[in-house]
Every structure is written in structure tokens, then in C-alpha cells.
Structure 1
């Protein structure tokens, strides 16, 4: 299970939506997905990563940036409120073990809350929230 799956499961456990990667989401669910935004359901949280700092070549820690794209309905406040609730839950988090078993040392918001990015092709409002996360990640060459 990847670190992104772990963050998706953590969102689910916190009550922000439903993470069910092996089935389609119902129209009444707030789906949590990893990678790309599906066409349905209307309300969805997409968990993705983008380049963070260079990892230490000896110590078993990685740091990356996690982006959550929160899509709502044609009511802009729905996506904003959900994104703000996630930001409030995640920003400043210290040591936590994700449901995937990854040991996360810190999660820090890289801006002061949700950023509106407009509407998708179906008129649904979207917001992003970005975090810097550090977690324990050992390998054959790193302890």
C-alpha cells in the first residue's frame, strides 16, 4: 500500500469521505481517490503528490508535498467548507501512524487554507489544499 493510499484511508477515518478503491462510488457519497479526478460522484477528494525536497541518501525519511483537490457541487461553499475542515484536521499534525502503517512525522499546510481553483467542465467548484509531509521510509540503503 502506498503512502497516498495511507493518506486517503486517513481522510476516510477522519470522516471526510469514503475511500473504497475497489468499487464505484454512489452519487450520494463523497469519494476519496488517489491520482486522478473521476467524473462521478460530484463530490470527491483527490489525493496526489508532487515533488518535495530531495530525500536524504542515508537517513530513512522522505519529504513530499501532498495535494488534496476537493470538488464539490455548483454551490462553491460545499467544497470550501470540506477543504477547510481537512486543513483544520491536518495542519500541524505531529507523529501519526496512517492506516497503511506509514509513520508520518509531520504534516504542515503550505498555505493558510483552501485555494479556489474555479469550476470543472461540469460547473462543480474545486479547491486545493497543499501540505508538506515527512514520513519514515527505510530501504536497503537507508536506515
Structure 2
């Protein structure tokens, strides 16, 4: 795995350890009763899912970076949007302002939510939200270690 996918997996493990969902990167498939935690593409199942994807915010000549972590939440098929928002709030409670984390061996000095939005229902009537968290961390390379 790469530094980025390691960090995504570490965040998934962190959320699973908090009881917010189930992180099962190699299977078996999630049950309908579970909140799946995945990285990358949004799966068609289960209905309730947390999807984590990293993106660059800032990087410079030193290893210090601000990494964006998009966390998309999808709730169950329902006329009530609150289950998706409730899960979004539970993730916020766990992550916003967290300091001195180690995610998959990667030190994260500070993590905070920068923004969030309600996306409405998907084509199957499952409400979605998206949140953008910023992580202050270090991403050393062959040429940058400080």
C-alpha cells in the first residue's frame, strides 16, 4: 500500500474502533445491518456506508502537508434524512479537533472538519452527506524528510 492508502485505512480503523461502522478491507461483504467503512469508490451495498478518500490541500518543500480527507456518508433508504446526519455528527464528534493521532503508523498532529454539505438522496432514496476534514501530518519522500 502507499502512504495515502495507509492513512485512509488508518482512519477507517479509527472510526471502526469507535463503533461507527465496520472496516473490512478484504471481505466478506457487509451485511444489511452493518455500516460499512470503505475507501475509494462508493459501493452499491450496504445502504449505510462511510466512504473515505484523501486529496491534497497543501504541500511544500518540507514533509509537512495538509491532507484533505473527504468522508461521504450514506444513510438507509428512508424519507427521513436524519440517520445520515446522525452518523455525520457522530464522525464529527470523534474526529473534529483530534490531536496527536497515529493512523496506520502515520502521525497526525491535528484533524478538523473544514466543511460539510447535505447532498440529498441518491437514485435509490438513500440520503448522503459529505464532509471535508483536514489533517496536519508529515509525508516524507526520498528527497524530503524534514
TM-score, normalised by the number of residues in structure 1:
0.90
Structure 1 runs of 4+ off > 6 angstroms? none
Give the Cα separation in 2 of the matches to 1:32 and 1:136: 24
Structure 2 unaligned blocks of 5 or more: none
Q: Equivalent of 1:128, from 124, 127, 130?
A: 130
Correspondence for 2:60: 56
User: Is the aligned partner of 1:72 residue 2:75?
Assistant: yes
TM-score, normalised by the number of residues in structure 2:
0.89
Structural mapping, 1:42-121, within 5 Å? 42-53=47-58, 55-57=59-61, 59-73=62-76, 74=78, 75-98=80-103, 100-111=104-115, 114-121=116-123
- 1:62: Cα distance to partner? 2.1
CA RMSD of aligned residues (A): 1.3
1:2-61 superposed Cα distances (whole Å, 9 cap, x missing partner): 2111111111111110000111111111000001110101100000123311x122x222
Give the length in aligned residue pairs. 138
Correspondence for 1:4: 8
Q: Which has the higher strand share?
A: 2
Correspondence for 2:25: 21
